[in-house]
């Protein structure tokens, strides 16, 4: 399959201006991220808070302007596009957001929310708009009878379905899913994940799935990128691949199985994700890493496939 | 459907609207009812007023309230009631026009500043804050010096005086709304800035601005009266509550009714506007959004 | 140590909680698991006697702690118990700590209040507790303010406060929900160790079945303000008998076991104002029949476990 999305060395540096009583500070929210997303595949990006996974999603869609790197979508270099060209292209790359509760304008009925993509892109649907809206609502498992409802009249799971219907209205090829179930109950999360799986096969969609939940990513995705403090530290080519980066292993060991028989002695890693501002040189994980050597504190490891799948570690497991 | 059914249905629709809900409480009904009455009086002043507001009758100057001059006459023998009724016209129209101009300009500036941010935002807010730091009277004097005294100067002075308030409030709303997910989602659909602003940001930002505008009309009436009192506003013989009180000061002890009735008109109107405004805030449930503006 | 029998709670005319029972002994961890609006946090509030603060009242049942019925306790007596013999750990460490006070005095206060310790004795105790929670350099931490610490560290301080008066029972309401997974693992391990070392009775309230599987000995599954199933954790996961428990387990992704497809539960979680009649789960239940909509089911007991379902005959063990 050809690559639908190619990301090269994508970076974003945020700076806060200094003042008389404050130092100017900067952070690399996303630092040199590269990967290929072939058509029809699902890549999961997993990491803890502050690892830059949500920023990465917005850089790819150019909702945040990158500081450097390249994003090729279906052969087009997105960063070279003018604002109006970009607006056109957006029809083909959509996003589902983490917070369904604020993802729909509170003054819009579901009909208006779901037909807005057509209005914005100036596209006339093949069928009459009311039918098109009903079809879209049905496609995401909503009763078309809800079309006249306002967002405050429906549940969180239903709102997220509306968000998906809006994103799919113009039949995009790429869907970026930014923690689409993180604010939903587990029983509703499972519904939404099931729906996304069905839509993927029915519509031939390609997904980039952002999540903090490793078991969910393992369940849902074909490949996994593990991020830590703005960098990809490991790229698992398949979900069952063994962890080779100490951080990935920690993440896996911190994720519990829903089975009391698989209970294990947790030997947790001490410490927490450090502040992303003004990081010391070397590997960002070195302070928490059981295998860290002097080299790790001076030289930043780069992603390398020398010893198997891509891992950014001086001492891979 | 007959006419009465239609009337009932439109009343129903009105009651469901948030503004309609402001009438639901006793206070809201009395204050709102008074304001509606006042607007009607102002519109139909020429037909309601028992006398010509400008007709002088020096033979009957400073007559005490009684028949046929219910509220008495002033130093030129003009009917005070007729002048208060016509004064409502002047006060309300000047204040409402000024606030409308101020709101339109403030919303435009505030929305643009909030949406585009950066240097533009800082420039707009600095200029607007500057207008806020000048006393209203001083602004009025500047306009009087440029265009001469009269209702036009008064209107612009009031408009400038309230510009900062509307600009700041609108900007605060837009900045808050801009962070909502649905805005990001709509940008990601490929929407132009004009679509975001007109179809999402403004409709969601407008309610608190309207309420503040409503309350500002009351303040505008006071400001118009003040300017009129100092002779900077309505010029004789145009009746204005402020100008009437000003001319009444000369005969304060001889004929107090000349100053009392326009004063009462100002006071009652402003109280009604404020009470109704409070009900509106409650009905629209926007108390939180009015803070921090 | 702590046992709750047939607890019911009302706020005015709404009855958000009814028929909740469980018991937890020393050195034991009990999990209360459920989705949003299931009443699990409300259960904790009732046990802590915090209902009157939000205008609720206990309408029935018993809360027994060390032989005395807490529902009959005066507010003054409750105040002694709360933070004393029963410690509470809340979900959001950011709101449990006073932002204007240093860490040391905040923890000291608990020991001073409940154990009558002097200033110096309380501080010594604070440092000792912080040490057992594996907080490096306790003396230094005592001089810090909450905003100078990470989320995981703050949660440890909240745990230290709950432990300061040497409680017998610890109630932890979603103690790790606001934390990252690696930090969650640290806190869970810490709570596990505390239960063993101090012979504590721990009530762990969570929405996460995986956390329950990892840490609990017994579990109560709640749905729409009712306990629908309870029993030893192995039994509940091996042979869940209530359709809701079965469905809840089927909702959890198992990364490595790709054969099982995630199945959600149709419909939405009910809220207090629209709790269904009869069995609260019947509108979403695949097995529901006419009786389920009208009659609230009683508990069908089998061994140590019980399920509130009209059709609680042993179901196929669904999870792997």
From the list A250, A259, A270, the residue facing C213 with the nearest CB is A259
Mean pLDDT for B95-118 is: 93
A40: left (phi over 0), alpha (psi -120 to 50) or beta: left
Of B286, B203, B284, nearest in space to B23 by CA? B284
Q: Which residue has the higher pLDDT, A284 or A227?
A: A227
Q: Is chain B in touch with chain C: ≥3 Cβ pairs within 8 A?
A: no
* Among chain A residues, CA nearest to C178: A49
A95 chain-B contacts, CB cut-off 8 A: 185, 188
Q: How confident is the model at residue B8 (pLDDT cuts 50, 70, 90)?
A: low
A180 chain-B contacts, CB cut-off 8 A: none
Question: Distance between CA atoms of A73 and A173, rounded to whole angstroms?
Answer: 10
Task: List, for residues A184-216, the tens digit of each pLDDT value.
Answer: 888 889 999 999 999 999 999 999 999 999 989
- Ranges in chain C, pLDDT < 70: 255-260, 313-320
- Interface of A to B at Cβ within 8 Å reads 61, 63, 86-91, 94-95, 97-99, 102-107, 116-117, 120-121, 163, 166, 170
Domain limits, chain B: 3-290
Question: Distance between CA atoms of C240 and C248, rounded to whole angstroms?
Answer: 10
Mean pLDDT for A159-177 is: 95
A257's CB contacts (< 8 A; 6+ apart) are: A263, C210, C213, C214, C254
A197 chain-C contacts, CB cut-off 8 A: 261-262
Mean pLDDT for A93-104 is: 93
- Residue B17: is its pLDDT beyond 80? no
On whether any CB of chain A is under 8 Å from the CB of B195, the answer is: yes
Partners of chain C (3+ Cβ pairs below 8 A): A
A94 chain-B contacts, CB cut-off 8 A: 188-189
Q: Which residue has the higher pLDDT, C13 or B206?
A: B206
Q: Which of A263-267, A294-298, B204-208 has the lowest mean pLDDT?
A: A263-267
- Percentage of chain A lying above the pLDDT 90 cut: 65
Average pLDDT, chain B: 85
Q: How confident is the model at residue B18 (pLDDT cuts 50, 70, 90)?
A: low
Q: How confident is the model at residue B292 (pLDDT cuts 50, 70, 90)?
A: very low
Contact state of A120 with B185 under an 8 Å Cβ cutoff: no
Burial of residue C294, with CB atoms counted within 10 A of its CB: 0-12 exposed, 13-18 middle, 19 or more buried: exposed
The reported pLDDT for the residue numbered C267 is 80
Among A1-15, B251-265, C295-309, top mean pLDDT goes to A1-15
Domains and CATH numbers, chain C: 2-223 (3.40.50.300), 238-320 (no CATH)
Task: List, for residues B174-195, the tens digit of each pLDDT value.
Answer: 999 999 999 999 999 999 999 9
Question: Distance between CA atoms of A268 and C187, rounded to whole angstroms?
Answer: 9
Domain A3-14+26-297 has CATH 3.40.50.300: yes
Q: How confident is the model at residue A178 (pLDDT cuts 50, 70, 90)?
A: very high
Contact state of C264 with A155 under an 8 Å Cβ cutoff: no
C251 chain-A contacts, CB cut-off 8 A: 186-187, 189-190
Mean pLDDT for B49-57 is: 82
From the list B181, B190, B191, the residue facing A103 with the nearest CB is B181
Token look-up 């400038």 returns B160
Q: What is the helix (H) or strand (E) element at residue C299, kind and residue range? A: strand C299-302
Q: Which of A75-84, A160-169, B24-33 has the lowest mean pLDDT?
A: B24-33
Q: How far is C168 from chain A (nearest CA, A)?
A: 24
C234 chain-A contacts, CB cut-off 8 A: 260-261
The reported pLDDT for the residue numbered A164 is 96
Q: How confident is the model at residue B4 (pLDDT cuts 50, 70, 90)?
A: low
Please give the structure tokens belonging to residue A202. 């029915």
- Residue B252: is its pLDDT beyond 90? no
C280 chain-A contacts, CB cut-off 8 A: none
The reported pLDDT for the residue numbered B12 is 62
Mean pLDDT for A110-137 is: 94
* Among chain A residues, CA nearest to C251: A190
From the list A158, A256, A273, the residue facing C214 with the nearest CB is A256
- List the single best residue of A62, A102, A151 to mutate versus B (max B Cβ within 10 A): A102
B144's CB contacts (< 8 A; 6+ apart) are: B153, B232
Task: List, for residues C14-70, the tens digit of each pLDDT value.
Answer: 888 888 888 899 999 999 999 888 888 889 888 888 887 788 888 888 888 888 888
What top-level class would CATH report for the domain B3-290?
Answer: mainly alpha
Task: List, for residues A55-89, the tens digit of each pLDDT value.
Answer: 999 999 999 999 999 999 999 999 999 999 999 99
Mean pLDDT for B205-212 is: 87
Q: Which residue has the higher pLDDT, A177 or B55?
A: A177
């Amino acid at each position: 399959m050809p690559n639908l999305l190619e990301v090269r060395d994508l970076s974003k540096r945020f700076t806060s201006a200094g003042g008389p009583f404050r130092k100017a500070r900067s952070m690399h929210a996303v630092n040199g991220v590269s990967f290929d997303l072939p058509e029809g595949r699902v890549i999961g990006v997993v990491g803890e808070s502050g690892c830059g996974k949500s920023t990465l999603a917005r850089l790819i869609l150019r909702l945040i302007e990158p500081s450097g790197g390249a994003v090729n979508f279906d052969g087009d270099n997105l960063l070279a596009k003018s604002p109006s060209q970009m607006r056109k292209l957006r029809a083909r790359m959509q996003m589902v957001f983490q917070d369904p509760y604020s993802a729909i304008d509170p003054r819009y009925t579901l009909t208006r929310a779901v037909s807005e993509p057509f209005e914005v892109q100036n596209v006339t649907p093949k069928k009459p708009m009311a039918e098109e809206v009903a079809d879209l609502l049905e496609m995401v498992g909503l009763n078309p009878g809800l079309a006249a409802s306002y967002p405050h009249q429906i549940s969180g799971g239903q709102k997220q379905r509306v968000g998906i219907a809006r994103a799919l209205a113009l039949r995009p090829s790429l869907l970026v899913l930014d923690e689409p179930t993180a604010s939903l109950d587990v029983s509703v999360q499972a519904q939404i994940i099931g729906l996304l799986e069905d839509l993927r096969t029915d519509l031939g969609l390609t997904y980039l799935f952002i999540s903090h939940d490793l078991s969910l990513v393992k369940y849902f995705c074909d490949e996994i990128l593990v991020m830590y403090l703005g960098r990809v530290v490991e790229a698992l080519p398949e979900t069952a691949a063994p962890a080779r980066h100490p951080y990935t292993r920690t993440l896996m060991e911190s994720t519990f199985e829903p089975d009391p028989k698989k209970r294990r002695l947790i030997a947790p890693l001490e410490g927490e994700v450090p502040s992303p501002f003004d990081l010391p040189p070397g590997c960002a994980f070195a302070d928490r890493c059981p295998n860290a050597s002097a080299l790790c504190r001076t030289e930043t490891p780069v992603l390398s496939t020398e010893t198997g799948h891509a891992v950014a570690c001086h001492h891979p497991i | 459907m007959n006419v009465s059914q239609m009337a009932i249905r439109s009343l129903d629709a009105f009651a469901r609207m948030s503004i309609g809900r402001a009438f639901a409480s006793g206070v809201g009904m009395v204050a709102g009812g008074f304001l509606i009455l006042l607007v009607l009086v102002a519109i139909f002043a020429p037909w309601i007023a028992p006398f010509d507001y400008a007709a002088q009758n020096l033979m009957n100057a400073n007559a005490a309230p009684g028949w046929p001059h219910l509220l008495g006459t002033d130093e030129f023998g003009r009917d005070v009631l007729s002048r208060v009724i016509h004064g409502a016209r002047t006060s309300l129209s000047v204040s409402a026009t000024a606030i409308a101009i101020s709101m339109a300009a403030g919303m435009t500036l505030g929305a643009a500043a909030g949406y585009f941010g950066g240097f533009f935002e800082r420039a707009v807010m600095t200029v607007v804050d500057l207008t806020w730091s000048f006393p209203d009277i001083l602004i009025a004097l500047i306009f009087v010096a440029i265009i001469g005294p009269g209702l036009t100067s008064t209107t612009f002075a009031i408009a400038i005086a309230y510009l900062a308030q509307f600009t700041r409030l609108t900007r605060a709303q837009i900045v808050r709304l801009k962070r909502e997910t649905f805005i990001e989602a709509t940008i990601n659909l490929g929407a132009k800035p004009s679509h975001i602003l007109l179809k999402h940001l403004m409709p969601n930002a407008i309610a608190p601005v309207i309420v503040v505008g409503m309350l500002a009309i009351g303040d505008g009436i006071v400001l118009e009266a003040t300017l009129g009192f100092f002779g900077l506003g309505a010029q004789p013989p145009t009746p204005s509550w402020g100008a009437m009180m000003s001319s009444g000061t000369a005969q304060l002890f001889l004929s107090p009714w000349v100053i009392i009735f326009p004063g009462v008109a100002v006071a009652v109107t402003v109280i009604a506007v404020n009470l109704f405004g409070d009900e509106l805030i409650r009905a629209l449930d926007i108390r939180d959004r009015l803070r921090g503006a | 140590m702590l046992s709750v029998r047939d607890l019911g709670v009302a706020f005015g005319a709404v009855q958000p909680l009814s028929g909740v029972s469980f018991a937890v002994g020393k050195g034991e961890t009990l999990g209360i698991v459920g989705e949003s609006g299931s009443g699990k946090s409300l259960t904790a509030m009732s046990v802590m006697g915090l209902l009157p603060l939000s205008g609720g009242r206990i309408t029935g049942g018993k809360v027994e702690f060390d032989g005395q019925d807490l529902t009959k306790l005066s507010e003054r007596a409750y105040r002694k118990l709360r933070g004393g013999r029963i410690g509470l750990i809340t979900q959001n460490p950011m709101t449990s700590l006073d932002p204007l006070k240093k860490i040391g005095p905040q923890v000291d206060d608990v020991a001073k209040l409940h154990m009558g310790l002097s200033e110096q004795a309380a501080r010594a105790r604070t440092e000792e507790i912080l040490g057992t929670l594996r907080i490096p350099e306790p003396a230094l931490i005592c001089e810090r303010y909450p905003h100078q610490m990470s989320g995981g560290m703050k949660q440890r301080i909240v745990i230290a406060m709950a432990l300061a008066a040497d409680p017998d029972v610890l109630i932890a309401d979603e103690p790790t929900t606001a934390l990252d997974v690696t930090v969650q693992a640290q806190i869970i391990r810490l709570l596990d160790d505390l239960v063993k070392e101090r012979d504590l009775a721990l009530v762990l309230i969570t929405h996460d079945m995986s956390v329950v599987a990892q840490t609990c000995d017994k579990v109560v599954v709640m749905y729409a303000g009712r306990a629908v199933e309870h029993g030893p954790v192995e039994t509940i996961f091996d042979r869940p008998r209530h359709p809701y428990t079965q469905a809840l387990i089927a909702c959890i992704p198992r990364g490595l076991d790709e054969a099982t497809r995630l199945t959600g539960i149709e419909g939405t979680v009910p809220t207090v104002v629209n709790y269904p009649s009869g069995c609260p789960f019947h509108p979403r239940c695949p097995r529901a029949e006419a009786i389920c909509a009208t009659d609230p089911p009683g508990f069908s007991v089998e061994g140590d476990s019980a399920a509130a379902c009209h059709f609680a005959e042993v179901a196929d063990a669904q999870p792997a």
